C-alpha cells in the first residue's frame, strides 16, 4: 500500500450501535412510528415543534446512559498517535467520539449537546430539555432554542474544510454508514477522484460499496481496533 500520510475518516450511526445508540435504518430505525426523514426537517419543526423537541430531548437524555465503545476508543488512539493529518468527520450527533478523546473531529450534522438560538443565532453547549422552552444561555430569550442539528434540506457544517481534507487525503475510511444520505455519501467519490485509497468497514455493504477499493464486513467494535493496530504498525 503506497505510504499514507493524510487520512479522512467518515463515521455514521453504525459505529455507535454497539454502545446502544439506535441507528436510523436498522430495525430500530423508526421513532414512535415516525421515519427520521419526517421528523428531522425544518418543516416538521415549524409544523409541530413539540414533537420534534421531544424526539431530540429523548435522544439527548439517552446519551447519559451510553458510553464510547472499542471502535470510538481505537479512533481516539489513532487521533493521538498519527504523525500525518487526520480528520474524523462524523455524521453522528452523539458525543461518543468526543468522550472517547478524538480531537481532530467535526460533527457535520450538528450535535445533540448543542442549542441554536433563533433569536440571537448563538450556538451554546446544552444537555437539558428544550421542550420546556428554556432561555438561551447567550441572550436569555425564552422559547427560541432549536436543536443544533442539520436537518434534511439544510447545509451540513464545515463543508469547505471537509472538501479540502478529501482533496489532500491519501486514505479515506468510511465506518458504520449506509451511504444513503448526501453529501456524506459522495465523499468516497471525491476522495477517489483525487487519488486516495478508499476503505469501508460496515456490518452490511453500504449503498456505495462499489466505490470502495476495499470493504471489510463486520462489527465496528471488532474491525476498527484491528485496523488501527494495522495502520499504526506502518508508522
Q: Is 219 in the site for ligand BV8 (CB under 6 A)?
A: yes
Q: Is 206 in the site for ligand BV8 (CB under 6 A)?
A: yes
Min separation Cβ 122 and ligand BV8, Å: 20
CA dihedral 184, 185, 187, 190 (to 10 degrees): -140
Min separation Cβ 108 and ligand BV8, Å: 8
Pattern 87-106, ligand BV8, x by CB under 6 A: ----x-x-------------
Is 109 assigned a catalytic role?
yes
Closer residue to ligand BV8 (CB): 21 or 170 = 21
User: Contacting ligand BV8 (CB under 6 A), which of 8, 18, 111, 145?
Assistant: 18
Residues 140 and 132: their CA atoms lie apart, in Å, by 14
Min separation Cβ 21 and ligand BV8, Å: 10
Q: Is 182 in the site for ligand BV8 (CB under 6 A)?
A: yes
Residues 11 and 76: their CA atoms lie apart, in Å, by 13
Q: Rounded to 5 degrees, what are φ and ψ at 90?
A: -110, 140
Min separation Cβ 151 and ligand BV8, Å: 6
Residue pair 67/221 in contact by the 8 Å Cβ criterion: no
User: Contacting ligand BV8 (CB under 6 A), which of 68, 156, 208, 225?
Assistant: 156
Smallest Cα–Cα separation from 16: which of 62, 55, 85, 82?
Answer: 62
Q: Which residues pair with 200 in a beta bridge?
A: 174, 215
At residue 145, the 3 state secondary structure works out as: strand
Residues 63 and 4: their CA atoms lie apart, in Å, by 35
- Near ligand BV8 in 31-60, by CB under 6 A: 36-37, 40
Q: Is 220 in the site for ligand BV8 (CB under 6 A)?
A: yes
- Near ligand BV8 in 116-145, by CB under 6 A: none
Which residue intervals of the chain are DSSP H helices? Answer: 36-39, 42-47, 49-62, 70-81, 96-100, 159-168, 187-193, 220-233
Task: Give the largest CA-CA distance in the chain.
Answer: 56
At 122, list the grid cell: 448563538
Min separation Cβ 200 and ligand BV8, Å: 10
User: Contacting ligand BV8 (CB under 6 A), which of 33, 153, 160, 234?
Assistant: 153
Active site residues: 109
Binding site for ligand BV8 (CB under 6 A): 12-14, 17-18, 23-26, 29, 36-37, 40, 91, 93, 109, 149-156, 176-178, 180-182, 184, 202-204, 206, 219-220
Amino acid at each position: 500500500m503506497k505510504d499514507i500520510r493524510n487520512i479522512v475518516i467518515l463515521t455514521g450511526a453504525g459505529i455507535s450501535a454497539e454502545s446502544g445508540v439506535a441507528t436510523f435504518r436498522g430495525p430500530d430505525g423508526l421513532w414512535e412510528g415516525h421515519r427520521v426523514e419526517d421528523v428531522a426537517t425544518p418543516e416538521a419543526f415549524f409544523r409541530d415543534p413539540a414533537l420534534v423537541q421531544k424526539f431530540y430531548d429523548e435522544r439527548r437524555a439517552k446519551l447519559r446512559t451510553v458510553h464510547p465503545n472499542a471502535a470510538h476508543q481505537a479512533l481516539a488512539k489513532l487521533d493521538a498517535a498519527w504523525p500525518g493529518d487526520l480528520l474524523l468527520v462524523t455524521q453522528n450527533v452523539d458525543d461518543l467520539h468526543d468522550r472517547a478523546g478524538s480531537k481532530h473531529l467535526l460533527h457535520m450534522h450538528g450535535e445533540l449537546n448543542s442549542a441554536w438560538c433563533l433569536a440571537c443565532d448563538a450556538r451554546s453547549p446544552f444537555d437539558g430539555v428544550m421542550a420546556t422552552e428554556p432561555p438561551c444561555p447567550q441572550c436569555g430569550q425564552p422559547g427560541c432554542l432549536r436543536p443544533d442539528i442539520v436537518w434534511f434540506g439544510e447545509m451540513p457544517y464545515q463543508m469547505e474544510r471537509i472538501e479540502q481534507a478529501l482533496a489532500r487525503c491519501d486514505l479515506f475510511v468510511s465506518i458504520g454508514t449506509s451511504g444513503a444520505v448526501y453529501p456524506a455519501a459522495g465523499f468516497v467519490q471525491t476522495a477517489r477522484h483525487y487519488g486516495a485509497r478508499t476503505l469501508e468497514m460496515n456490518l452490511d455493504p453500504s449503498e456505495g460499496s462499489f466505490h470502495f477499493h476495499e470493504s471489510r464486513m463486520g462489527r465496528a467494535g471488532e474491525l476498527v481496533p484491528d485496523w488501527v493496530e494495522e495502520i499504526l504498525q506502518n508508522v
